[in-house]
Amino acid sequence: MSNRRYSVILGNLGNTCDRFCGSYKSNPPALEMLKAAAKIPHVKGIELVGTWDIRPDNVAEMKQALTGHGLTCVSIIPDLFSRKEFAKGAYSNPTPALRRQAIDESKQMCDIALELGCDLLNLWPGQDGYDYLLAADYEKERELECQAITELAKAYPGLRFALEYKPQEPRTHCYMARMADTLLMAQETGCANVGVTMDTGHSFAAGEIPAEAVVLARRAGNRLFHMHFNDNYTKWDDDMIVGSVHSIVYLELLYWLDRCQYNGWLSMDQYPYREDAAGAIGESIQWLVAFDAILNKHRAEIDRVIAGGDPVATSRFLRQAMLGAK
């Protein structure tokens, strides 16, 4: 499709740390990272993490900078995952005051989103989960999380809330772990403005076929609100360059995004620890552009091989279309 819209999470252009090394790179100011993002081919959108990139005191400055670079704020991601006060959960925290803090800070990000003309809050409550058996009240904590999301969605009916799922990390088990149970959470809120963010790497780690997960979201009421793209070896959220491990998976995913009429952003979410960040993110987008070129050239043939259900014919088609082989 020629109307794909590409974006990037701003922090991916700065320092990316892990459990062993807290600083592989320097972390430039947000406005410098924004300038770098604007130079990446095809990038027209930015995701901001609050309060890393965006706060009440810098909204006007960030809005002006986005406009100056011709960029759109496509989502704001509240920081519900990197702070010690939320170590035992944000929306499902057993301490009412901390749970209220997580909700109120999310509302603050909602107000900022409205100021920036952004209609999407990407919610990744990565600390909402558990680590040990017989150490969590699954029913109570899931209900608390559902109540928090519902409160946000009802307080801001003009915004969309995209729940990002991930099977593990930072907890050994996250409550929103797969497409299906995240769709259930969205439906439990009873709010049409609650949907799902699929991160391809999280989907791999969850043992999903991303294209099938897209179909689930479509059948559940068109609940796929946002997409994050990266790659990994399926055992961990490596956040690598798209296409560096998988290929056919992405071709199939783009095909089904079209069939399911997804018209949202394709946002790059990577952790380029040692490689050049802008170069790595740019490569991901170029891979997607290349997969789209194959798809657009061979869409009718893909329709036929899917309808035929013959793995040998599918293999032959892929070998010829992707490699130019006979």
Q: What is the pLDDT of residues 60-111, one digit of tens each?
A: 999 999 999 999 999 999 999 999 999 999 999 999 999 999 999 999 999 9
Q: Which amino acid is at 189?
A: T
What does the DSSP assignment read for 273-284? SSS-HHHHHHHH
Read off the CATH number of the domain in which 98 is found: 3.20.20.150
Residue 166 resides in a domain? yes
Residue 1 resides in a domain? no
What does the DSSP assignment read for 151-215? HHHHH-TTSEEEEEP-SSSSSSEESS-SHHHHHHHHHHHT-TTEEEEEEHHHHHHTT--HHHHHH
Residue 308 resides in a domain? no
pTM (whole model) above 0.85: yes
Domain holding 115, by residue range, is 6-296
Q: What would the two tokens of residue 219 be?
A: 């059948």
Residue 215 resides in a domain? yes
Q: Which of 232, 221, 229 is nearest to 184 (CA)?
A: 221
Q: Which of 31, 35, 41, 49 is nearest to 4 (CA)?
A: 41
Q: What is the pLDDT of residues 161-208, one digit of tens each?
A: 999 999 999 999 999 999 999 999 999 999 999 999 999 999 999 999
**CB 51: neighbour CB atoms within 10 A?**
17
Count: domains in the chain: 1
Region 218-233: mean pLDDT is 98
Residue 324 resides in a domain? no
Residue 247 resides in a domain? yes
CB 26 within 8 A of CB 288: no
Residue 221 resides in a domain? yes
Q: Which amino acid is at 146?
A: C
Q: Which of 6, 70, 77 is nearest to 38 (CA)?
A: 70
Residue 41 resides in a domain? yes
